[in-house]
Amino acid sequence: MKASCYLFIILGLMLHLALSSGSGSTTEGTQTCRKEVQSSCTSKTKACARLGRANICQAFKNDCQRRISNCNSKGLSIFYRKVSANLCKNMPYDKKLPCGSGSNALSGSSGATSNNNNNGSQIRPGGIKAIKESG
């Protein structure tokens, strides 16, 4: 009984040491990544990036900031892919918004308005079509 108790204590200590030493290497990797980007990056123009595969974009002051954002300090796999600058048009820097929303997202306007078709029906926001009956 005592032997199994000692075994669990030793295993617990080993696990604790393994996890605590791993966090230091993540921080070192992040610092190395940032230094590499800072030493090699010379971008001066605004950059637009999409967050992973989501329809969330963020405007950066330059592509160097985007690349530094990919040097994540928490070891998570957050990745900003460079996309067309049109998707971040009129977006403030360092704010995550739906791609292509620009100033519409900031003003509260969804951009969805009713459209009239030639036959008198209306397409309402959400894709619902209201048909005007004659009678």
Q: What is the pLDDT of residues 22-72, one digit of tens each?
A: 445 667 788 888 899 999 999 999 999 999 889 999 999 999 999 998 887
Q: What's the pLDDT score for residue 19?
A: 47
pLDDT of residue 7: 52
- Beta-carbon-side half-sphere exposure of residue 5 (alpha carbons within 13 Å): 2
Q: What angle do CA 17, 21, 25 make, to 5 degrees?
A: 165
Band of residue 92 on the pLDDT scale cut at 50, 70, 90? very high
Q: What are the extents of the domains in the chain?
A: 45-99
How remote is the C-alpha of 17 from its chain's centroid?
A: 32
Using an 8 Å Cβ cutoff, are 91 and 120 in contact? no
The 3-state DSSP class for residue 60 equals strand
Residue range 85-100: mean pLDDT, rounded: 93
Residue 132: pLDDT above 80? no
The amino acid occupying position 50 is R
pLDDT recorded at residue 130:
52
110 pLDDT band, cuts 50/70/90, is very low
Flag whether pLDDT at 81 surpasses 70: yes
Q: What percent of the chain has pLDDT over 90?
A: 37
- Residues 108, 97: Cα–Cα separation, whole Å: 12
The larger pLDDT score, comparing residue 50 to residue 115, is at 50
